[in-house]
Structure 1
Amino acid sequence: MTTPAELIVESGELRLWSERTGAPTDPAVLLVMGTAAPGVGWPDELVDALVAGGRQVIRYDHRDTGRSSRVDFAARPYALADMAADAAAVLDGHGVAAAHVVGASLGGAVGQWLAVHRPARVRTLTALMTGPMGHSPGPAWARALAGRAPDPGDLPPPSARFLAHLAHRAALPQGTPDERLAAHLETWRVLNGEVLPFDEPAARRFVRASFDPNGDPGAGHHHDLAARRMTEDRLAPLSSIVAPTLVLHGTEDPLRPLPHGRALAGEIPHARFRPIPGMGHSLFSPGLPRQLGEIIREHIA
């Protein structure tokens, strides 16, 4: 892997950790992670595949994760637009006017927001394991948790196995670092799905890197609260997106089943939809990060 260069950038009063890999003169790829996940959630193998294609790759820690600033959400609640402003601030900090934006899960919604509201910053968009930013999954979750049949006019809820895991995890002790590690690992195992093998050592390294012994261990959950805020800017039509768009979605995604990705691709003009056989809602399967990196590299070429 090319030696990365770290940079702290400012987004308003916040300080965000970021890292650039590759030559600063190469076209930029901005990697945007999902809920409660710092930049190391993007595996080195995926970064290497993009750098090998002649791109500089920038990954960063969202607010409330990793080495970036924490926010008092009760006093200063934020929304998807604020997280998108952080992404733009990272580009500014690295002197990048426009980038190929790649977002996973909540990061895919951040990418959509930028492509709609800041189109000049987005050269291409790649959205992984996500759905339309204007869709609220709350009603589908509520029906599933109440034991009611899915609404045929809505996108499907998470799998029964994942919902059962959430109930099981709520009862697990998580008072010590080892207990939290075990609970997080089990969540990633379930999110990986039941088809592709689970790379437990990679997941373990990620979970350990995600823990902040000096900060609020629950700060990343503020992302869930931000994601639930269905502000007017999120309801803007995705048909206005002009950036060439690729939607990648796992066929075994237990959190956002495949129709979520199909729905997103259907709302963006000329978007390409590519199902990834066996992939769940994670990048923790041997060989998967490089496979995705090569697919993304082809899209942004």
Structure 2
Amino acid sequence: MEWAGSSRVTEKSVAVKGAKLQTQAFGAPSSPPIVLIMGMMSSMLWWPERFCRDLAAQGHYVIRYDQRDTGLATHYPQGEPGYSFSDLADDVMAVLDGYGLEAAHLVGMSMGGFVAQETALRHSRRVLTLTLISTSPLAVEGLPPSTKAYREHSAAGEAVDWSDLGAIADFLRRDAAMLAGTRHPHDAEAVSALIARDMARAPSFASATNHFALVGGEEPARLKASDLTIAVLAIHGTADPLFPIAHGEAFTKAVPNARLHRIEGGGHEIHDRDIDEMVQAIAHHAT
């Protein structure tokens, strides 16, 4: 257990269907809970620690966790994920159960936003609000694709030797630079340090590519963002190259109780200089 000012930090492992998730919690357990769900191939470290501490300082119990095949969670053979995308949504419920929580506010980023939406649709009684960062509404068609430059960069990922940690790190550094916004300078040094920490912490980093197989699967037709009945906050950078701003705007059209918070010049990232703005928006929403 660690103390930093008024923010208490604890860690625990949570069991899920023969596997485990590693979790970390910030703040007082008696405060309203927020569970953070990160995106593809990204452990909980990609939720900046300052983001978590500042959100806890706003009066919330903040839990971040490693999804399967990331960080200290259970890893599976590369190309053979022993779970489905729906299992990732059920894992959120396992995190709540592991902490003895009846319900929580969910914050999902990128792929984590899809997990959060499915969780809310399938376990509606246990989700209080949704905050969806840099993601897209389920089952909404006709939205613009990623930018041409990002699509070309992503296609180059097929040539990466995913058994070579050096090659993976190089690709992830380029990926972070491609996803950066225009509002603030890209901090390549900080990103490199984060990637190094993430890779050193995971017993098998290449297995995180199993997430590609999950996203490539067919989306159940019954799951539609338009069926969400809880309050939804979409936080979206206006310079997001992966999901252009129209994806964030689409939440306000598809979801009855949704609103959009634009990060002007923001990319597909949680930039350190945007944390204060994002934390304030989330804390105001998750009440």
Same fold (TM over 0.5): yes
After TM superposition, list the pairs within 5 Å mapping 1:153-232 onto structure 2: 154-168=142-156, 177-212=165-200, 215-232=203-220
| Equivalent of 2:88 in 83, 86, 89 | 83
Quick one: distance in 2 between partners of 1:132 and 1:240? 11
Between the aligned partners of 2:278 and 2:201, the Cα distance in structure 1 is 32
CA distance 1:116–1:106, change in 2 (3 Å)? same
Q: TM-score with structure 1 length normalisation?
A: 0.86
2:231 corresponds, among 238, 244, 265, to: 244
Deviation at 1:299, TM superposition (A): 1.0
What is the letter of the counterpart of residue 271 of structure 1? A
Q: Contact between 2:70 and 2:205, CA under 8 Å: does it hold in 1? A: no
Relative distance call for 1:239 and 1:159 in structure 2 (3 A) is closer
Q: Which runs of 5+ in 2 are unaligned?
A: none
- Please say if residues 110 and 134 of structure 2, whose CA atoms lie closer than 8 Å, have aligned partners that are also in contact: yes
CA contact (8 A) 1:45 1:290 kept: no
Equivalent residues of 1:79, 1:227 under 8 A apart: no
Name the Cα RMSD after superposition.
2.2
Number of aligned residue pairs = 282
Using the size of structure 2 for normalisation, the TM-score is: 0.90
Does residue 255 of structure 1 match 2:255?
no
Out of 265, 273, 276, the residue aligned to residue 290 of structure 1 is 276
Aligned to 1:67: 72
Residue ranges of structure 1 left out of the alignment (5+ in a row):
136-152
CA contact (8 A) 1:32 1:107 kept: yes
**3-state SS of 2:144 partner:** coil
1:195 Cα deviation from its structure 2 partner: 3.7
Deviation (angstroms), 1:179: 4.1
1:13-43 deviation line (CA, Å, top 9, x unaligned): 0111001111111110000000111111101
CA distance in 2, matches of 1:171, 1:237: 34
Write out per-residue CA displacement over residues 123-145 of structure 1, whole angstroms, 9 at most, x where no aligned residue: 1110011112235xxxxxxxxxx
Please tell me the residue identity of whatever aligns with 1:238: A
